[in-house]
Structure 1
Amino acid sequence: MNVTKKGEVVEIIGVQPEVGTKAPAFSLKNLNDEIVNLSDFTGTPVLISVVPDIDTRICSLQTKRFNQEAATVAGVKFITISNNTKDEQANWCAAEGVDMEILHDTDGTFGNAYGLFIPAMGRLARGIFVIDKEGKITYEAISTEISEEPDYDKALEQAKAAR
């Protein structure tokens, strides 16, 4: 799959899981160095927000928006994943006052499982996945232009419907 970054075509390697299929398992560390598994949330819908670089404007906006929504949408677990380092993520969260679950995919586990790694950038593509209580993907949106914000309303609508 190809996406663009400010109009320049970049290739995503791998295959994205499809809506209606079981979400690929993953285990990533959070900012407390605890291992978080997707299976930890069985029985709870999960909205996974994937950002290329937490220290860039659009990724910052996306993460702050879902952090705000996490405080008001009951019954849905919100997670942000990037391949920034733990220190980069922790510094950004401290500066921005963000307290949602942030996971770092520095070894490519998530990026490979979800087909989101962009070799030319060494980053993940921008995307959103909603996973229902049974672990199936009910919504997937990979941004065709990395430098544009995703459709928050549609993702939130799907997450609320998965409750």
Structure 2
Amino acid sequence: MKTMAVVLATGAAATAFVVAAVLAEQRGGEAAAQDVTFLGEPVTAEEIALGQDLYAANCASCHGDNLEGQTDWMRRLDNGRMPAPPHDETGHTWHHADRQLFIITRLGVGGVVPGYDSDMPAFKDVLTDEQIRTVLAFIKSTWPERQRTFQADVTANDEGDS
């Protein structure tokens, strides 16, 4: 009887391992919805999917289909403005708190840095606040765990001082 229990327990553990591995592979390294929050609130898989669609329609033309940003994004353009940065883990988006990312998206960079001249438009008349939230949640869902954890800590410590 004891041997049967060990066999069953071993089989259950192996099955759980295989299921976890398959799910991780299907996710392609992306965060599960339960791993993503915005201002401390969990984000659903449906919200992330909506955010992905809204990103494709409103952001990808500058920030890239794969969140890769524009070429030489750290070097000023001839007009003195900066190219669109990547929103994947190679950029600096994950260094900013949720509130700051929301304000930049809603009001443009000038909403955080008054007088800053940027090609980043304000989306307040294009996307609702909830739609902006889903776009940012989608972006966050693509980051590796290390970047999501760092950014969650920055958000938790954000006191509103941009």
Question: If the length of structure 1 is used for normalisation, what is the TM-score?
Answer: 0.32
Kindly indicate which of the two structures has a greater share of residues assigned to helix.
2
Kindly indicate which of the two structures has a greater share of residues assigned to strand.
1
Higher RCO, 1 or 2 (CA under 8 Å, sep at least 6)?
Answer: 1
Question: If the length of structure 2 is used for normalisation, what is the TM-score?
Answer: 0.32
